[in-house]
Structure formats: structure tokens, C-alpha cells
Structure 1
Amino acid sequence: MARSINPARVDFVTLRLFCAVAQSGSITKGAEACHLALSAASRRLSDFESAAGSKLLERSAQGIALTPAGHVAVQHAMRLFQGFEQFSSELGDYASGVRGHVRLWANMSALTEFLPTALATFLERHPDIRVEVEEQLSGDIVRALVDGLADVGVFAENTPAYGLEVMPFQTDELVVLCARQHPLARAKRVSFKACLAHEFVGLNRSSSLLELTSRAAEQAGIPMRLRVQVRSFDAMCHMIAAGLGIGVVPLAACSAQVSVLGLKVLRLSDLWAERRLLMAAQAGGQLSPAAELLLKHLAASGPSAIPAAQAPASRPHGTRGRRG
């Protein structure tokens, strides 16, 4: 039978110390960061390892390294801190007179194109509600909703969202951008298959847009040649303008950069180029009144042309998925 840790033997000071030591690779630096004497810090770490029943730190002349058990411990410790910070922040809001707190996670497309205006009108109508916004990958957003780290999420379609109440939010048009001197620049409309003859600039791995284009390339039977991968649409546009490749991006998210950098916009003839963004919350979950208000506001700001019946059906959530 696996040994369980006695919560009475672990406190937040020790967990914070353990994380500081893991990040700095030094007990001395970790103790300084937590304002603890070195002897007290060493004793706390030894007690923590004893409570865990596993060796968590490898000590050597070069410093401190995490053992495999230590890597697991630091991940859980960080999650506990995030939860405690949210707990403290939300209670602090109520104490200072703010009557609601909503954690909204959204992907880059939604944050760039649609959410600024929707959030501005929402906060104007509800000044006593605080909305904490975080940009994340679509798969991470779904996982945060299931785990209760986020109240409301906005992500790209085709992201597995079992166990969530999913609704349509907005639609964005995906286009191909290229530099003026690129061989495709004379075209106005192209198929994605024709684009695969050229090198691409793409987003980082695990983004929903990269997965969508990679899947389309696989279906076409032609490998997608990624020359550069970056973390934002803004960086993509600058790389494309420098002639490092072409890129598939949401048109509205990059319209300003298109004119500033002199990029050429090519419409895609593929059906998947019209991509839906979805919003979700826990199915059957007890949303706070503030989160309910935000969800209704976002639903009202979306296009009424997309019936809710077209949203992916929710199914019982099993194992946690990886990024999408």
C-alpha cells in the first residue's frame, strides 16, 4: 500500500522553500529567497523528505538537483501555490469591495481579435467584477476548465472538450500571408496544398493552429516544411516580411501588421479556413454569479448565425488530454 503524506507535517513555508531551492539549484539561495537561516532551511528540507518518504534532492559540490521524485514534488508544490494565490486574490477582492472574480483563459486568436471589445463592454457594465485573463494554448485551456483552474475558456474548435459545456463564440478566417517578393504573391486565392511547395513560418508546437495546418498537410500527403517557429502572430508577421516563409494566420488578428509590413494576403480555398472559436465552462458545474454573467455576455457578443446545436457534444471526461 502506498504511503500517504501527513498534511500536518508540510506547510507552505517549506513548500515555498523547496520550490526556491529547486529553481536556484542552491539551498543557500533558496533560504535567502525565503528569508530563512541556512540551518533552519536545511532542517525543513530534511523534514520534508522524511514526510514524503522519498529522496527529493541530490546534494553535490556543484549544487542541488532534483531526483525523479523531486520533479513530481515540485510540480505539485507549484500547483498548490497557484491555488493558494488564487484563493488569496479572490478573497482579497471581496474584502476590498470587488463583488466578483472570474478566471478567463483564452487562446491567442480570441484575445487578439474578439475579447478586448467584449471585455471592455462587460467591465463597463459590471465595474464590481474583476476578470483575470490568461493566454494559453487551446488544450491547456480545456484542461484548466476541467481541473477548476479557470472558470470560462475560449479555444479553437477540434480541441477535445469532453466533460465541458461548449458553446459557439466567434468565427475567424484563416489566410496565407507572404512577402511581396514571394512567388505566391501574384495570387489572390490559393489552396493549402499548393502552399505546401513552400517553406512555412509557424507558431510553437502544441498550438491549435499548428495542429490544424499539420493535419491538413498530412491529409494532402505532402510534408509541411517549417523553417521558423515563433510564439506570437506579431513575430510570425515579421518573419514572413523578412522572406523566411509563408504563414497561415487569422486575418483579423494580423490586419494591422499586414499594412505596416506590406504583406500580401492570400485567401485559402479550403473549407477549414473558416475556423470557429468556442467557449466553455464545466458541465453541470456551479459557476459563480460573476462567471455566469461573463458567459452570457460573451454568448450575446458572438454571431447569432451559428446555432448552438452545432457545438461539439459534451461527453464524460476521462483521462486528462495533452495539449491541443
Structure 2
Amino acid sequence: MVNTLLNPARIDFVTLRLFCAVAQIGSLTRGAQACGLAVSAASRRIADFEESAGTRLLERSARGVSLTAAGHLALQHALRLFQGFEQFSSEIQDYSQGTRGHVHLWANMSALTEFLPDCLATFMGQFPDIRVELEEQLSGDIVRAVVDGVADIGIFAENTPTGDLDVEAFQEDRLVAVCSQEHPLGQRTHVRFSECLQYDFVGLNRGSSLLELTSRAAEECGEVMRVRIQVRSFDAMCQMVRANLGIAVLPVAVLRTDQTKPLKVVRLEEAWAQRRLLLGVSKTCSSAALLMRDHLRTFSRVKER
């Protein structure tokens, strides 16, 4: 059988950088100039790259070059390699300056807002030589990052598919319905979610675990959520609700009590409103990440079900 795997010995960072420049600029000549190469040398490198890949990556025309379908894939991976190399370079420099470990922690908005500030403050106080890089991401993206080893530790909602990733319960958050004081639900203390579905909603952007959870709950009621406005943060949701543009489902702990125009919090009677956040750890994580995992466990507050 012929070995069709790409031979890494035939590809160097100069060629990859050239390919990225040519693909992004759309011109072999200007891409070569950006990389400080003669056009003939650049053309030869691109040809060797395509031969090694076993497929055409660029379409040539009188107007310049464009990516083929395989070229788009190659560009994505090349950019990811450069990003990884820059991260590697940055972390090596940190070690030379006294840093003794790195932890890449990805968390969803609920965990980032409710639980992590105090936890990270105490961890970094105990381990000042460990650098923690925290990213807010959607729960599904967090799981994929942990599985792929891009993130050392992930904290995400429990309704997220996890495959064979080992997870453990980390925290619980209570979801509530939130509306303005003038809203028809403003006089209620508790409500069934099915009653909320007759009103417009303010939601997070598509892909968020919270939007997926409430949308699925609406489907189980035989209804569809009327999402009038979608925003990117809990604070923005609260501002929209305060303007009486709809109701929202939010973790109760993220609500601020010092607003000049407070929101009305209405308890949801559904069992799913008591939601768990899960903790997942990469199988290739460092000793610094294991220290972080153990520290997070000391902050875990989960009731038995």
C-alpha cells in the first residue's frame, strides 16, 4: 500500500508562512514579497508543498490565486500550527523568567461569573509561579478543547455531550426567570416554564448551553421559544430585560442587587432549573493543571441527587 500521509520532513515553517501569506493576500508575487522571498523560490516551495500534500491547494488565474477546498483545510491547520508555536514560544519564555507551570482553563459564562473569581484568586495566591490562562467559551467547544488537549481543564454545563471524557460534578447553579417590574410576570413569585413561553425572550447567542437547554424544554412543552433578542453576555441580557424587551432565564447568582432599576426574579418550578456544572480534565494535562484541578475540587459544592 502506498503511504499517502503528509511527510512533515518536507514542510518547514517558512513554507507554511508563505502558503498562509499567499492564501490570505491572494497573490503569489505579493505573498513572496511579504515573506522576503524571490517569486521563483516561492513558486517552487508552493509546488513542493502541493506535491507533498498530494493535491492541489491553490487555483491559479490571471487575477491571482484562490484556495481549493483542500487549500482551505490546509490553511486552517497551518494557522493552528502557528498559533501553537507562538504559545509554545511564549510559555518557554515565561519559564526562563521564573514561571513554573501553565494551566489552560476554559469555562462557560456561568462558571466564569459565579464561581471562578474567588477560586482563581486563592490558587494564584498559593502558586504565584503558575500562570493561568482563562478563556470563556461555549460548553460544546470546551469539551472538544479538553479532549483535543488544547485546554487542560474545562468547566461546562451538564447537558453537554462529553463522549468518553471523564467528568465530575463541580458546582450547581439555580436558573430563574427574570423580567422587568412592569412585565405581566412581575407580580409572580414562581412560574412554570410553559407559562413563560407566551412571552418574548432575551437569549444568549446560538450555541450556548443555556439557550439549548431552554429551547429543548420549550420543545418538550410542544412550543417554540420566541427569542426576540440575542446577546453575548449575562449583563447584556439584564439590560435588555430591564428595558422590558423580553424575559430571560439566568443563573440567579449572576444577578446584581445594586441596580437602580432592579429586576424581578421569578422561581422556575422545573427540575432542570437546578443545573450542574461539570469539570473535565485533559488526559495530557501538566502537573500544574493537576494542582488546579485539586484546588477546584475544594470549591466543589454539589448536592447528592
TM-score normalised to structure 1 length: 0.85
Pair 1:292 & 2:290 matched = yes
Q: Cα RMSD over matched residues? A: 2.3
Which amino acid in structure 2 is aligned with residue 90 of structure 1? E
Larger-gyration structure (1/2): 2
Q: Is 1:22 the counterpart of 2:19 in the alignment?
A: no
Counterpart of 1:118? 119
SS in 2 for 1:255: coil
Q: Secondary structure at the match of 2:162?
A: coil
Deviation per CA, 1:71-98, whole angstroms, max 9, x where unpaired? 2112222232233233323322222211
The worse-fitting range, judged by mean Cα deviation, of 228-237 and 259-268 is 259-268
Partner-residue secondary structure (3-state), 2:59: strand
Matched residues in 2 for 1:64 and 1:4: separation? 25
For residues 224 and 14 of structure 2, the distance between their equivalents in structure 1, rounded to whole angstroms, comes to 51
CA distance in 2, matches of 1:245, 1:63: 50
Contact 2:173 2:252 in 1 (8 A): yes
Equivalent pairs, count:
304
- The CA deviation string for residues 206-234 of structure 1, in whole angstroms up to 9 with x for no partner, is 11111100110011111111122222222
Residues 236 and 3 of structure 1: CA distance in aligned 2, closer, same or farther (over 3 Å): same
Cα distance in structure 1, aligned partners of 2:265 and 2:41: 62
- Segment of structure 1 superposing worse, 231-240 or 272-281: 231-240
Q: Partner residue of 1:314?
A: none
Determine whether 1:90 maps to 2:87.
Answer: no
Pick which of 111-120 and 19-28 moved more.
19-28
Q: Is the 8 A contact 2:178 2:247 kept in 1?
A: yes
Cα distance in 2 between the residues matched to 1:83 and 1:243? 45
Q: CA deviation at 1:56?
A: 1.5
Secondary structure in 2 aligned to 1:168? strand
2:272 corresponds to which residue?
272
**Identity fraction in percent:** 62
Name 1:316's counterpart in structure 2. Answer: none
Cα distance between partner residues in 1 of 2:120 and 2:99 = 17
Q: Deviations over 1:124-153 (max 9, x none)?
A: 010011111111111111111111111111
User: How far apart are 1:260 and its partner, in Å?
Assistant: 4.7
Report the equivalent of 1:281. 281
- In the aligned structure 2, how far is the partner of 1:30 from the partner of 1:209? 44
How far apart are the structure 2 equivalents of 1:25 and 1:198?
49
User: 1:6: how far off?
Assistant: 1.9
State the SS of the aligned residue for 2:255: helix
Answer whether contact 2:149 2:285 (CA < 8 A) is retained. Answer: no
* C-alpha contact (below 8 Å) 2:169/2:276 kept by paired residues: yes
* Secondary structure in 1 matching 2:225: coil
The separation in 1 between residues aligned to 2:244 and 2:25, in whole angstroms, is 40
Match of residue 47 from structure 2:
46
Q: What letter is aligned with 1:172?
A: D
The CA deviation string for residues 273-297 of structure 1, in whole angstroms up to 9 with x for no partner, is 1111111113xx3542211110011
Q: 1:124 to 1:53 in 2, by over 3 A?
A: same
* Displacement after TM superposition at 1:262 (Å): 3.3
TM-fit CA distance, 1:24: 4.2
Once the two structures are superposed, residues 243-265 of structure 1 have per-residue CA deviations (whole angstroms, 9 ceiling, x without a partner) of 33211111222326x72553322
Measure, in 2, the Cα distance between the counterparts of 1:183 and 1:29.
62
Which ranges of structure 1 fall in alignment gaps of 5 or more residues? 311-324
